[in-house]
Amino acid sequence: MKVLQTPDSQFDGLADWPYQPVYTMIDTTSMSMSASISASDAVALRVHHIDARPQNETPGDGVETVLCMHGEPSWSYLYRKMIPRFVAAGHRVVAPDLIGFGRSDKPTETTDYTYERHVDWMTQWLMANDLKNLTLVCQDWGGLIGLRLVAAMPERFSRVVAANTFLNTGERPASEAFMAWRKFSQETSVFDVGRIMRGGCKVKPFADELRRAYDAPFPDDSYKAGARVFPTLVPISPESPSARENVEAWKSLRKFEKPFLTAFSDSDPVSVGGDRYFQREIPGCAGQAHTTITNAAHFLQEDAGEKFADVVNQFIAANKSEQ
Residues 26 and 119: their CA atoms lie apart, in Å, by 12
Q: Given 120, 140, 275, 303, which residue is catalytic?
A: 140
Instruction: Outline where DSSP puts E strands in 97-245.
Output: 106-107, 134-139, 157-163
Q: Look at residue 1 and give its three-state secondary structure.
A: coil
Contact 112, 225 (CB under 8 A): yes
Residues 144 and 234: their CA atoms lie apart, in Å, by 8
Q: Given 120, 290, 298, 303, which residue is catalytic?
A: 298
Residues 29 and 42: their CA atoms lie apart, in Å, by 6
CA 177 vs. chain centroid, Å, equals: 20
Residues 131 and 216: their CA atoms lie apart, in Å, by 28
Partner residues linked to 138 by β-bridges: 69, 162
Is 298 among the residues known to form the active site? Answer: yes
Is 41 among the residues known to form the active site? Answer: no
Residues 165 and 167: their CA atoms lie apart, in Å, by 7
Residues 218 and 225: their CA atoms lie apart, in Å, by 10
Residues 243 and 225: their CA atoms lie apart, in Å, by 22
Q: Given 97, 268, 275, 303, which residue is catalytic?
A: 268
Q: Which residues are catalytic?
A: 140, 268, 298
